Amino acid sequence: MSSLKDKKILIVICGGISAYKSLEFIRALRKNKAEIKTIITKSAKEFVTPLSITSLSQGKVYEDLFNPENEAEMDHISLSRWADLIVVVPATANTLSKLSNGTCDDLASTVILASNKKIFLVPAMNVRMWEHPSNQKNLNNLKEYGYKIIGPEIGDMACGEYGSGKMTEPSEIFKYVENYFKQLRRNNNLKALVTAGPTREYLDPVRYITNKSSGKQGYELAKSFRDKGFDTTLISGKTNLKPVEGIKYIEIETADEMLKETLNNLPVDVAVFSAAVADYKAKNYSKEKIKKSDQENINLTKNVDIISYVSKHNSLRPKLTIGFAAETENIDENAKKKLSEKNCDWIIANDVSNEEIGFDSKYNQVKIFYKNNSDESIEKMSKSLIAEEIVDRVIKNFN
Task: Draw the binding track, 61-100, toward ligand PMT (x: CB under 6 A; -: no contact).
Answer: ----------------------------------------
Residues with Cβ within 8 Å of residue 133, at least 6 apart in sequence: none
Q: Which is nearer to ligand PMT, 178 or 253 (CB)?
A: 253
Which residue lies nearer to ligand PMT by CB, 166 or 281?
281
270 sits near ligand PMT (criterion: CB under 6 A) = no
End-to-end CA distance of the chain: 22
Choose one: 33-41, 242-250, 268-276, 368-376; the region binding ligand PMT (CB under 6 A): 268-276
Q: Give the contact letters, 94-133, x = binds to ligand PMT (CB under 6 A), - = no.
A: ----------------------------------------
Q: Which of the stretches 92-100, 103-111, 224-232, 303-311 binds ligand PMT when contact is defined by CB under 6 A?
A: 303-311
> How does DSSP assign 34-91, residue by residue?
-EEEEEE-TGGGGTS-HHHHHHHH-S-EE--TT-HHHHHHS-HHHHHHH-SEEEEEEE
Q: Minimum distance between the CB of residue 137 and ligand PMT, rounded to whole angstroms?
A: 24
The region of 108-116, 228-236, 246-254, 358-366 touching ligand PMT under the rule CB under 6 A is: 358-366
Helix (H, G, I), strand (E, B) or coil at 11: strand
Identify the DSSP state of 290. Answer: P
In the complex, minimum distance from the CB of residue 235 to ligand PMT, in angstroms, rounded to a whole number? 11
Site for ligand PMT in 187-216 (CB under 6 A): 195, 197, 213-216
As annotated, the active-site residues are 159
- Report how far apart, in Å, the C-alpha atoms of 297 and of each of 283, 290, 291, 333 are: 11, 10, 11, 34
Rg (CA), the chain: 25
Q: Does 34 bind ligand PMT (CB under 6 A)?
A: no
**CA torsion, points 41, 45, 51, 55, in degrees to nearest 10?**
-60
Binding mask 226-265 for ligand PMT (x = CB under 6 A): -----------------------------x----------
For residue 97, give the nearest of 62, 70, 136 by alpha carbon: 136
Residues 159-178 within binding reach of ligand PMT (CB under 6 A): none
State yes or no: cis peptide before 267, omega within 30 of 0. yes
Q: Is 276 in the site for ligand PMT (CB under 6 A)?
A: yes
Contact present, 219 and 196 (Cβ < 8 Å): yes
Q: For residue 277, state whether it binds ligand PMT (rule: CB under 6 A).
A: yes
Q: Check binding of 325 to ligand PMT (CB under 6 A).
A: yes
Element (DSSP H or E) covering residue 375: strand 375-382
Stretch that binds ligand PMT, among 96-104, 227-235, 311-319, 350-358 (CB under 6 A): 350-358
Determine the angle formed by the axes of helices 50-57 and 21-31, rounding to 10 degrees: 20
Query: Does the footprint of ligand PMT cover residue 303 (CB under 6 A)?
Result: yes
Give the pairing of strands 280-282 and 300-302.
antiparallel
Q: At what angle are helices 170-187 and 21-31 packed, to 10 degrees?
A: 40
Number of residues in contact with ligand PMT under rule CB under 6 A: 30
The least distance separating ligand PMT from the CB of residue 338, rounded to whole angstroms, comes to 5
Angle at alpha carbon of residue 91, lines to 87 and 96, rounded to 5°? 110
**Residue 243 CA neighbour count, 13 Å, CB half:** 12
Return the number of the residue (277 or 385) whose C-beta is nearest ligand PMT.
277
Part in contact with ligand PMT (CB under 6 A); list of ranges 98-106, 114-122, 291-299, 305-313: 305-313
Site pattern 366..395 for ligand PMT (x: CB under 6 A): -----------------x------------
Among 62, 208, 225, 359, binds ligand PMT (CB under 6 A): 359
Are the beta carbons of 326 and 359 closer than 8 angstroms?
yes
Summarize as ranges the residues that interact with ligand PMT (CB under 6 A). 195, 197, 213-217, 255, 273-277, 279, 303, 305-307, 323-326, 338, 342, 350, 352, 358-360, 383
